[in-house]
Structure 1
Amino acid sequence: MPVIRRIGQSRLILIAFVLVAVMLAGISAIRFQAPELLGQDKLLTDFDAFHIAGTLAGRGDVADAYTASAMMDAQAERSPTAKLMPWTYPPPFTLFVDALADLPVGVAYVLFILASFGFYLVVLHRIAGTWLPGVLLFVMPAVLVNLRVGQNGFLVAALIGAFLLAWRDRKMAAGVPLGLMIIKPHLAAGIGLLALFGRRWSVLAIAALVALGALGLSTLAYGFGVWPAFLGAVAEAGAFLAGGHYSLFRMGSVYAALRSWGLPADWAMTGHLVGALAALGLLAWVSLAKFAFRHRAALICALSLFVSPYSYDYDLAILGVGLAFIAPDLAARASPRALGALLALGWVTCGYGVMIEALLPADQSGASSLAASIAPAIIAPLLIGLCLVTLRLARPREDRDKSLCAPAANPF
């Protein structure tokens, strides 16, 4: 059996991966609930923000969840070592974390992260089949980041994958995961354009009903006042982003890269908008293209990451969905050396942000200050390079040979 197949389809790797994930979830649950049992102080991470926002919403103070100063005060009650974690998720996701906040934070974390990780595994297995271990190995840093901090990267990636599976199989049910992407709509641009240009109106109708239902339930729960509060939080977040108060080195957007390299906020945002428009144009082209759906799906997953300036390293779990569609192509067409290099590039891309955060002093590992001592944001260029290399390796060998050997076109 070739080495690529032995590793990429190894059940031993899959079992080890799942066991490590469960162990990490258990340790993280203790760190969320009772870190003193591990001899550690309480340090807030992403799921703490979920739980705090849900707690505020549950006691009738949803406006406080959407106000950065009030959110910071609530965070300070749980840990003296707080960092900037404003709440900017749409009200439907606030309603979701409101339900989770009825449980102790450690229990809520375990239920959320293991359920969403299980959903992610099921979707990846449906797409990649026996190549699931190889796919997980490729995006391992992104998986570990989500497991440790309790982010929603698994949930979002699984919803995108579920949509692409249902779309491929021409099922109306594709509208359900598309509608549920109301929780993180800026990452739904790719699948939304596919549905729009694919003109499957029944799918779009179901998506609209699901999204409107989620919006209606959250409005019913919190009142119409939740929407001005949400929009105010979005405006606050924009000011924080412009001021460099987020960990830019953990962000995968063109904006973060340009801003961390010294460009003024306006120029960096202009550069990002150019890149986002290019990504949207390519997504529209991919949606209308006639080549193999598995390649289109992989491109949709990758290009969707370039639309929002707020893209983070935990969102790179979406790459696993794209890779799952083309894993057999890569295994058949790339050499072991090329795949090894691709794996290394994937690990650096997905793991750069958390690696830098671990190396920074404690007083610098929270919000980025744009100081020279803070590492630059290079995930975006790494991601572009990763996509180009993957596209090159996934192409049929004869197509690559033709592109190298074809004579130059006569300009006359």
Structure 2
Amino acid sequence: MSAPAAPRARALLTNPVLVWAIVLLLLIPVAIRMFQILVVGTDVRVVDFDVFYIASQLIGEGQAILAYDPGVMTARQSAMAGDHMFMPWAYPPQFDLLIAPLALVSRGIGYGIFSVLSLTAYMVVLRRLAGPWLPGVLLAIFPCLLIIAPIGQSSLIVAALIGLVCAMWTENRGAAATGIPLGLLVIKPHLAIGLGFAVLAERKWKVLLWAGAVVALSSALATLVFGPGIWSAFRESSAAAAERMAHGQFKLYRMTSVYASLLSLRLAPSVALAGHVAVALAALTAVGIAVRRGWPVQRVLGISVIATLTISPYSYDYDMPILGVALALLARDLVELSRPAERIVLLAALWFWAGGASFIAVILNHGREEDQYSWLAAGSLGLLLSAGLIGRILRRCPARPGAATLPSHRP
């Protein structure tokens, strides 16, 4: 291993004051939005949480299936916004079970509870993984956290589940325990593929068995609560969302996938998808190589989580808390094996990938809504640069004798 990180870099990236400063900056927009909803009323913009809340209201009315109806959602969202508004609902029915209790409280209180609890869960899991490197991890993904704080996104819950899988795996908590949070990722299944591939590569069949059991039980419960028709409604809504994406009807500049970038260059959807698949396969290949080299468990899982972020064509800037999990696993290696110039370039690339590209697009666009669907989706440039530089740094450190490698799959 190379010489330890420079004292100044270590002092900054492990400074606990930085954590409290970032948490405070994130809680300020949450408090402002709660005040707007509770005091000002409904005259505030509709954000992601509001769509969750509308879906929970439909569930409370015994009409969960209508959340997948574009006409119903458009009417409800437009009434809340006071203007035409539509964000599609394409979450699996298991997520409907998760957000159903929101309708028991007011919109403002629900937003506050959802935002604070999801942020707390994420911070607790990230602290468990990152240890003293937590400040540096939060600094590296700060743009996406700033995007998420006021909108109440589910990505913090998903990232916390991914982090919990990694924490249990590294701590050897057992196949059953590790499989449970992996199975709960059914609420956004495409974001579990990287970890699932690592499980397959290590042939950890018990983990897959428990994860599958959680998926099966949660599916049965959703069917029992909402009726079998919920599944066809979910499939139709998902297909419609994919069609809208292919026709450029999403805000591509906020997306971080190679698919979105190529679409924004006006390439055919089939060509964009081919380029996207090539990058995703390369990322999964990197996971396989890490396993074959017998690298430490933290490193293999960190690479697996990064691979997860390359797989979905619909990856958004608000999905990037997942990157924080990967960096928490890799932080020590990345800091101690990198050169000063590489740390600076890597931080810039991570910022660009984790929402910085979205901020730049908004600034350059001067907030003109008529151009929001036509701006270049540049986030994947940060993805490619970050992944390439991370790979370059990690190759300097082969598995050390006695390192905590992945448990053998032999009985």
Q: State the TM-score, normalizing by the size of structure 1.
A: 0.88
- Paired residue for 2:16? 11
C-alpha distance in 2, partners of 1:203/1:226? 28
Q: 1:288 to 1:65 in 2, by over 3 A?
A: farther
C-alpha distance in 1, partners of 2:86/2:249? 8
Q: Secondary structure at the match of 1:24?
A: helix
342-351 or 390-399: which moved more? Answer: 390-399
Alignment root-mean-square deviation, CA: 2.3
1:162 to 155, 161, 164: 164
1:315 to 319, 331, 341: 319
- Paired residue for 1:151? 153
Matches within 5 A, 1:130-279: 130-170=132-172, 171-172=174-175, 173-279=177-283
- Paired residue for 2:30? 25
- Paired residue for 2:404? none
* Percentage identity across paired residues of the two chains: 36
- Paired residue for 1:119? 121
Matches within 5 A, 1:26-65: 26-31=31-36, 33-34=37-38, 36=40, 41-65=43-67
C-alpha distance in 1, partners of 2:39/2:351? 29
- Paired residue for 1:103? 105
- For 1:267, the aligned partner's letter is V
C-alpha distance in 2, partners of 1:46/1:81? 16
- Paired residue for 1:129? 131
3-12 or 277-286: which moved more? Answer: 277-286
Q: 1:257 to 1:35 in 2, by over 3 A?
A: farther
Q: 1:398 to 1:97 in 2, by over 3 A?
A: closer
Q: Secondary structure at the match of 1:188?
A: helix
Report the CA distance between 1:22 and its aligned residue.
2.2
Paired residues in the alignment total 391
Q: State the TM-score, normalizing by the size of structure 2.
A: 0.88
Structure 1: state its 5+ residue gaps: 400-412
- For 2:225, the aligned partner's letter is A
- Paired residue for 1:389? 389
* Alpha carbons 2:287, 2:300 under 8 Å: kept: no
Q: 1:220 to 1:361 in 2, by over 3 A?
A: farther
Q: Secondary structure at the match of 1:257?
A: helix
C-alpha distance in 2, partners of 1:398/1:152? 36
Report the CA distance between 1:245 and its aligned residue.
0.9
- Paired residue for 2:405? none
Is 1:349 equivalent to 2:353 in the alignment?
yes
Q: 1:217 to 1:70 in 2, by over 3 A?
A: same
State the Cα deviation string for residues 21-73 of structure 1 (Å, max 9, x = none).
22222113234x24737xx9421111111111121122122222102222111
- Paired residue for 2:80? 78
C-alpha distance in 2, partners of 1:92/1:10? 39
Report the CA distance between 1:287 and its aligned residue.
4.7
2:310 to 282, 303, 306: 306
- For 1:265, the aligned partner's letter is P
* Alpha carbons 1:245, 1:368 under 8 Å: kept: no
- For 1:139, the aligned partner's letter is I
State the Cα deviation string for residues 107-166 of structure 1 (Å, max 9, x = none).
112212211211111111111111111110111011111212111121111111111121
Structure 2: state its 5+ residue gaps: 1-5, 400-411
C-alpha distance in 2, partners of 1:296/1:50? 34
C-alpha distance in 2, partners of 1:252/1:377? 7
Q: 1:398 to 1:115 in 2, by over 3 A?
A: closer
- For 2:295, the aligned partner's letter is F
C-alpha distance in 2, partners of 1:82/1:125? 41
- Paired residue for 1:404? none
- For 1:222, the aligned partner's letter is F
Is 1:328 equivalent to 2:293 in the alignment?
no
* Alpha carbons 2:143, 2:351 under 8 Å: kept: yes
